[in-house]
Homo-oligomer: A and B are copies of this chain.
Amino acid sequence: MTTRDDGGVRDTPYLVVDEHQLESNLAAMASHAATLGVALRPHAKTHKTPEIAARQLAHGAVGLTVATVGEAEVFADAGVDDIFIAYPLWAVGLRAARLRGLAGRVRLRVGADSVDGVRMLAAAVHAGSDSAPPLAIAVEVDSGHHRSGISPERAAEVAATALEAGLLVDGVFTFPGHSYGSGAATPAAGDEAAALATARDALVAAGIPCPVVSGGSTPSARAADGGVLTELRPGVYLFGDAQQWELGTIEPATIALTARATVVSRRENVAIVDAGSKILGADRAAYASGYGRLLDHPDARITALSEHHATITFSADAIVPPLGTVLRVVPNHVCNAVNLVDDLIVEREGVEVAAWAVAARGANT
């Protein structure tokens, strides 16, 4: 329990956004993109929150990136009119109809990494009729993360198929997820630039204009030099998390989201708090030192995580917080933490001022 300024109380665990730090982080990335001369299209999967989307747009974002049709529907309902679903959708069934509906009311771009996928997208918006709402694609290429994405040399195959099928082609994109590793951001940003340049050149050589060259990831966004990129799609930057902290992408003082958790058990140099994987998420990357970090105890480590217990191990000479103490826990991967709650509690100068609905929580389809 923490006491609010209005005398109310709130049971732990819950997620808190520091509004001042959030604004600072939004401004910093907007400034970075402006300095590079690229458009900023933040990935809204991180926050899933219309209030935050509005703030990103107010800071100059050209539109949003999302991962699913469901996320796009939530943000379209909230008034966002330019959305990129950066995912190679397989557009059949209900999803096809939902996509056609979206394309009719926002400026919509969808990812594609196969000729067959593009044909499904075209069939979805046409739905057997000659008139179709405009739908743009961007060709996803693999820049070294080896997830989805066609090889950059083959990007024109997908783009040409899209044009033949009556779709628009915005350009090319990649997600350099291999930027998540110790010392990996700069090489990954180099891989990203090289892959995107190859893909762009392949389109141009095929006579297909390529106005959009879009890169992603919070680590690589910082390392990007702007060169080939026309657009950045970072997600985590607005909150930060323990992964970014441990990767060295951010300073812990800039972290804008923490879980508030109560010490419920303790022994020797260990405290157990009531935030587990059902509010922090269970992510633990190979490079992570534990299952999250303590904002006010940087030397402590979360050495085990259950659904409702985090086991915090303090150094031998540390004073372990007493039972009932409320601690600030930084999730390893903030995107998965946010997706576990219905509301983000917003504090200004330590005082609760709002609760923002995570309107796209669970929007997996």
Select which of B3, B98, B149, B339 is within 8 A of A265 by beta carbon: B149
Q: Are B336 and A262 interface neighbours, CB within 8 A?
A: no
Q: Does A13 contact B (CB under 8 A)?
A: yes
**Given A1-B93, A13-B364, A93-B9; A67-B308 close (CB under 8 Å):** yes
Q: Does A281 contact B (CB under 8 A)?
A: yes
Chain B residues positioned under 8 Å from A304 (CB to CB): 146-147
**Given A336-B277, A336-B278; A264-B147 close (CB under 8 Å):** no
Q: Does A342 contact B (CB under 8 A)?
A: yes
Chain A binding site: helix, strand, loop or mixed by DSSP? loop
Q: Are A90 and B308 interface neighbours, CB within 8 A?
A: no
Give the nearest-CB partner of A323 in chain B.
B116
Chain B residues positioned under 8 Å from A10 (CB to CB): 93-94
Q: How many copies does the complex hold?
A: 2
Chain B residues positioned under 8 Å from A336 (CB to CB): 277-278, 282, 307
Interface positions, chain A 72-108, Cβ under 8 Å from B, are 87-90, 92-95, 98
Chain B residues positioned under 8 Å from A278 (CB to CB): 336, 339, 362, 364
Q: Are B283 and A282 interface neighbours, CB within 8 A?
A: yes
Interface positions, chain A 269-309, Cβ under 8 Å from B, are 270, 272, 274, 277-279, 281-284, 304, 306-309
Chain B proximity mask over A110-126: 1 for CB below 8 Å, otherwise 0: 00011011001000000
Select which of B14, B308, B333 is within 8 A of A87 by beta carbon: B308
CB distance from A218 to the nearest CB of B (A): 14
Chain B proximity mask over A307-349: 1 for CB below 8 Å, otherwise 0: 1110100000000000110000000010110011110000000
Q: Does A263 contact B (CB under 8 A)?
A: yes
A92 to B262, CA, bound (A): 11
Q: Are B147 and A11 interface neighbours, CB within 8 A?
A: no
**Given A95-B1, A365-B14; A147-B281 close (CB under 8 Å):** no
Give the nearest-CB partner of A120 in chain B.
B324
Q: Are B265 and A88 interface neighbours, CB within 8 A?
A: yes
Q: Are B342 and A362 interface neighbours, CB within 8 A?
A: yes
A95 to B326, CA, bound (A): 14
Chain B residues positioned under 8 Å from A324 (CB to CB): 90, 92, 116, 120
Q: Could you write out 17 A-B pairs with CB less than 8 Å apart?
A: A1-B92, A10-B93, A11-B365, A45-B308, A68-B308, A87-B274, A87-B308, A113-B265, A114-B265, A114-B266, A117-B264, A147-B304, A147-B309, A281-B282, A282-B282, A282-B284, A282-B333
The residues of A with any CB-CB pair to B shorter than 8 Å are 1, 3, 9-14, 45, 67-69, 87-90, 92-95, 98, 113-114, 116-117, 120, 146-149, 177, 262-266, 270, 272, 274, 277-279, 281-284, 304, 306-309, 311, 323-324, 333, 335-336, 339-342, 362, 364-365
What 4 additional pairs, Cβ within 8 angstroms, besides A11-B365, A277-B283, A282-B282? A89-B264, A117-B265, A278-B339, A307-B336
The 10 closest A-B pairs by CB, nearest first: A1-B93, A9-B93, A148-B265, A11-B365, A282-B283, A282-B282, A11-B95, A1-B92, A67-B308, A88-B264
